[in-house]
Amino acid sequence: MSAPPAAWADTAPRGAVLLTSRIATFCLVELQRMRHDRSELVTRAIQPILWLVIFGKTFSRIKAIPTGQVPYLDYLAPGVIAQSALFIAIFYGIQIIWERDAGVLTKLLVTPTPRVALVAGKAFAAGIRAVTQAVVVLVVAALLGVGLTWNPLRLLAVVVVVVLGAAFFSCLSVTIAGVVLKRDRLMGIGQAVTMPLFFASNALYPVSIMPGWLRVISHANPLTYEVSALRALLLGLPTNLWLDFGVLTGSVVVGICAASALLGRLSR
């Protein structure tokens, strides 16, 4: 075995290559985690299935929500995908606090991984987990007769939207973790912000039927843009996809910067 220091150490990747490498690494680790615990995939699928089967079917019958020519169940399905991704991502801050308490975060911070890359890696790992959930919801929706697109390019774009949405909300969660520092506090705040984010979006009903004040909030809520993009891609409903992708991408960038800035508080 040759002696250190290793010659390759200073020719290691930097910049965008380093960032991409770290994101790929954290996504791979997330896939490995999921492979070892497939039960979570099943348990996490229960809630979206209930939303589609009970809420969706019931509200389709009573026709209480105006969705134009689109059946309410079809209208709801993209909202449930976005909601599933949100519910997965919003608790990633708890994972990082657990990693802090278990000493794993300390070890990660001593690797040649800039904090931005570490947060970005975790954010996109949340996206990977959310995509698996989205696949489950899509299959269930198809089984319930929702008229979804099966165009591979549109489905690829759906994956991108889900990843961006989950990445942003996981960053939001890590940012809150960096402020509150404790798992139980984050649990409370996570629960407190999740439902308002959900209800102040177009996941369940169109923005046009919201009261004015809620409409303003929904326009500032990245979940609205995620749902709009998903509806456009899966159902062909009209939206400004450039705006949706722009808002989601911008939110992810801001989220990564905010979470990275607060990561140091967690490690001290």
- Residue numbers of the site for other proteins (CB under 8 A)? 1-6, 8-10, 12-13, 18, 21-22, 25, 28-29, 32-33, 36-37, 102-104, 106-114, 181-182, 267-268
How far apart are CB 41 and other proteins at their closest, in Å?
Answer: 14
CA-to-CA dists, residue 255 to 93, 174, 251, angstroms: 12, 9, 6
How far apart are CB 61 and other proteins at their closest, in Å?
Answer: 42
How far apart are CB 110 and other proteins at their closest, in Å?
Answer: 5
How far apart are CB 180 and other proteins at their closest, in Å?
Answer: 11
Instruction: Give the 3-state secondary structure of 173-218.
Output: HHHHHHHHCCHHHHHHHHHHHHHHHHHCCCCCCCHHHCCHHHHHHH
252 closest CA partner among 18, 39, 19, 4? 19
How far apart are CB 116 and other proteins at their closest, in Å?
Answer: 12
Closest to other proteins by CB, 176 vs 232, is 176
Closest to other proteins by CB, 79 vs 121, is 121
CA dist., res. 198 & res. 215, Å (int)? 13
Closest to other proteins by CB, 23 vs 52, is 23
Closest to other proteins by CB, 17 vs 54, is 17
Closest to other proteins by CB, 99 vs 155, is 99
CA dist., res. 58 & res. 43, Å (int)? 23
CA-to-CA dists, residue 166 to 26, 48, 85, 161, 208, angstroms: 14, 16, 5, 9, 25
Closest to other proteins by CB, 254 vs 261, is 261
How far apart are CB 31 and other proteins at their closest, in Å?
Answer: 10
How far apart are CB 109 and other proteins at their closest, in Å?
Answer: 6
Place of tokens 């009261």: 211
Q: Where are the alpha helices (DSSP H) in the chain?
A: 15-36, 39-50, 57-62, 72-89, 92-101, 104-109, 115-143, 152-180, 183-199, 212-219, 222-235, 241-267
Closest to other proteins by CB, 8 vs 213, is 8
